[in-house]
């Protein structure tokens, strides 16, 4: 092994941490939770609209029911007067009987109106009940997904903490100048492989075959001497005792 081989281990740890972070940020549960939250928001909007409609129908129904009660009370009062002997004049009695009949017709019409309003409310209430069930299901999904995300984050946090400790131990074994060189390459090649292995004239970082002149030049160098891939700029690790 060469001194540069330690950088491959360091890179593996950093790559592992990147994968951990990527996995946590892109958990499928996050997208599913967003869908559940969107569903809950949609349900809330629909429920608000339905509540307005239900309140309107309920208000109209209450008003009509109050009118029915008023008419019934008046019919009862007039009937008591008519049949209780309070009216002795046949003409007045006939007029009262006619009035009672008219009131009963009004009452019947109002009762029909109440039934119509109840029929109008039925599909609205059914829809509201469906939304309540949908809300309960979406809320349950959201709770479950939130718990699963929290568990995954906790597991990832532990794995990352272990990687951080391992990295610190590895860094302590590597010359500071070499660590600094690695960090420079890692920063400069953000998102790409910072350290590659040159084997058989091929750089593992970019999978390109180096020109013969570059291979000869690199082969002439000590295996511990840092050198960059002329194709991609990655720091090259060369197996000790083997030609590039």
pLDDT tens digits, 135-185: 999 999 999 999 999 999 999 999 999 999 999 999 999 999 999 999 999
Give start-end residues of each CATH 1.10.287.1490 domain in the chain. Answer: 13-173
In this prediction the pTM is: 0.74
- Residue ranges of E strands in the chain: 195-199, 202-203, 208-209, 235-237
pLDDT at 2: 87
State both tokens at 87.
């009216």
Q: Give Cα 188 distance to the centre of its chain.
A: 35
- Extract the tokens encoding 145: 């997904």
How far is 11 from 28, CA to CA, in rounded Å?
A: 27
How large is the greatest C-alpha to C-alpha distance in the chain, in angstroms? 136
Q: In this predicted model, what pLDDT tens digit does every residue of 73-98 receive, in sequence order?
A: 999 999 998 888 888 898 999 999 99
Q: Are 99 and 67 in contact (CB under 8 A)?
A: no
Predicted local confidence at residue 190, as pLDDT:
85
Alpha-carbon span 205 to 237, nearest angstrom: 10
Q: What is the dotted CATH code of the domain comprising 13-173?
A: 1.10.287.1490
Nearest to 71 by CA among 119, 123, 109: 109
């Amino acid at each position: 092994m060469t001194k540069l081989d330690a950088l491959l281990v360091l890179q593996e740890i950093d790559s592992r941490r990147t994968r951990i972070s990527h996995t946590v940020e892109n958990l499928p549960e996050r997208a599913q939770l967003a869908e559940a939250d969107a569903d809950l928001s949609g349900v809330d909007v629909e429920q608000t609209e339905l509540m307005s409609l239900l309140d309107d129908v309920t208000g109209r129904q209450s008003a009509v029911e109050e009118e029915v009660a008023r008419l019934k009370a008046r019919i009862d009062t007039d009937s008591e007067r008519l049949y209780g002997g309070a009216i002795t004049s046949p003409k007045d009695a006939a007029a009262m009987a006619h009035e009672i009949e008219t009131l009963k017709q009004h009452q019947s019409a109002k009762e029909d109106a109440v039934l119509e309003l109840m029929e109008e409310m039925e599909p609205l209430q059914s829809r509201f009940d469906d939304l309540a069930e949908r809300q309960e299901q979406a809320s349950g999904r959201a709770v479950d997904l939130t718990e699963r995300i929290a568990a995954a984050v906790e597991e990832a946090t532990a794995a990352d903490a272990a990687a951080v400790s391992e990295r610190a131990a590895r860094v302590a074994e590597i010359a500071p100048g070499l660590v600094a060189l690695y960090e420079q390459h890692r920063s400069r090649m953000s998102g790409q492989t910072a350290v590659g292995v040159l084997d058989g004239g091929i750089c593992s970082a970019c999978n390109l075959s180096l020109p013969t002149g570059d291979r000869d030049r690199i082969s002439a160098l000590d295996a511990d001497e840092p050198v960059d891939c002329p194709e991609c700029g990655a720091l090259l690790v060369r197996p000790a005792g083997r030609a590039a």
